[in-house]
Chain A
Amino acid sequence: SQQGEEDPQALSIQEGENATMNCSYKTSINNLQWYRQNSGRGLVHLILIRSNEREKHSGRLRVTLDTSKKSSSLLITASRAADTASYFCAPSGAGSYQLTFGKGTKLSVIP
C-alpha cells in the first residue's frame, strides 16, 4: 500500500470561504479516496475518484486528480462550522484493498 501526504497540515478559514487541501502520492494508483474525521470519531468516506477521472463533484465537495503530477485536491465550497474536521486522502493501487493514511489536514472553520 502507499501513503498519501496531505498539505497543508492545518488550515483555518472563515465560515463561507472555500477550503482547498492537497494530496500527493508516489506510485500509480487505481483510485484515490478522501475521508473526514471529526474530533475523537471514526473516519467517514467522502468521495472516490478513479484514475481515469479528472474531476468529481459531490454536493459542496469538488475533487480533482492529476495523475501526471501524482496529486489530488479537495475543495470545500461555502464552508460551514460543521466542516471543522481532519481530512485524509488514501491512494489505492490496482487490486489493493489496503489503505494507508497520512497525518491529514486539520481544517478549522471559524463562525
Chain B
Amino acid sequence: DVKVTQSSRYLVKRTGEKVFLECVQDMDHENMFWYRQDPGLGLRLIYFSYDVKMKEKGDIPEGYSVSREKKERFSLILESASTNQTSMYLCASWGTSGGTDTQYFGPGTRLTVL
C-alpha cells in the first residue's frame, strides 16, 4: 500500500516562528502536493512539485515556501508563522496504483499559531 506520512499530527507554534512541515511518501511518486483545509473553504492547493528541486505555486502560495531535495520528501515552510496560518495541512502524492492514477493523502497536520 502507498504510504504518505507527515511529521506531526498536531503542532503549536508562536507568531513569527519558522515552521517546517515534513511529508514523506514511499512509492517513488514524482508529484507531491501541499494543501490547507479550513472550515467553509474546502481544500486549497498551496504548492506542488513534479520532480526533485521543481516546484509550482498553487492557489494560495503567499506566506509559504517549499523544498524538494529528495524525491520522497516534500517540505512546507512557514518562514514567519502568523495566526491566519492556523489550519489543517494535508500532503499528497500522485501516482499509479493498480492501473489507476490518483492522489494519496497523508493523515494531516493540525497547526495552531498563537
Binding site for B on A (CB under 8 A): 1, 31, 33, 35, 40-45, 48, 88, 90, 97-104
Contacts and interface: CB of A to CB of B under 8 A. Distances in A.
Interface stretch (B12-20, B65-73, B75-83, B94-102): B94-102
Main secondary structure of the interface of B (DSSP, over half): strand
B105 A43 contact: yes
A44 B45 contact: no
Contacts of A1: 45
B21 interface: no
Contacts, number: 55
Contacts of B4: 42
Contacts of A98: 33, 45, 48, 58
Given A40-B108, A97-B31, A48 B42 contact: no
Given A45-B103, A97-B50, 4 more contacts: A33-B103, A42-B107, A97-B101, A103-B40
B22 to A, nearest CB: 15
A31 B101 CA distance: 10
A1 B58 CA distance: 10
Contacts of B100: 48
Given A48-B100, A100-B59, A40 B42 contact: no
Contacts of A45: 102-105
Interface in B52-74: 58-59
A42 B105 contact: yes
A65 B104 CA distance: 22
B35 to A, nearest CB: 8
B104 to A, nearest CB: 7
